[in-house]
């Protein structure tokens, strides 16, 4: 699997769609392998799918992942921020 190779998975608006199969998959992916993305201006998350997607909507994606994984927003933002920093070799 890509995670075993050290890749991070970008989770976007599709993860919020009612008919997605990603929810079960996201439960099994370690939070340390996830980063958030907006796919802006496309793939706007639920419940605002009819709008143009913007980076500010990443909070909706984060909240959705928190519900799926039963974690706090603080934990999700801390770990995914560390993931991005690690990806860019900026963490100790």
Q: What is the pLDDT of residues 15-63, one digit of tens each?
A: 999 999 999 999 999 999 999 998 999 999 999 999 999 999 999 999 9
The CA angle 36-41-46, to the nearest 5 degrees, is: 65
Give the model's pLDDT for residue 6.
Answer: 86
Name, in order, each residue with C-beta under 8 angstroms of 30's C-beta and a sequence gap of 6 or more. Answer: 3
| Whole-prediction pTM | 0.90
Distance CA 63, CA 36 (A): 11
Mean pLDDT for 67-90 is 94
User: Is residue 90 very low, low, confident or very high in pLDDT (cuts 50, 70, 90)?
Assistant: low
Give the model's pLDDT for residue 66.
Answer: 98
Is 60 exceeded by the pLDDT of residue 92? no
């Amino acid at each position: 699997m890509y995670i075993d190779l050290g890749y991070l998975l970008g989770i976007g608006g599709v993860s919020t769609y009612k008919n997605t199969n990603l929810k079960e998959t996201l439960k099994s992916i370690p939070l340390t392998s996830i980063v958030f993305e907006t796919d802006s201006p496309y793939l706007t998350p639920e419940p605002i799918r009819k709008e143009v997607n913007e980076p500010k909507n990443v909070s909706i994606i984060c909240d959705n992942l928190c519900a799926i994984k039963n974690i706090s927003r603080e934990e999700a933002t801390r770990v995914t921020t560390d993931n991005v920093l690690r990806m860019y070799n900026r963490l100790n």
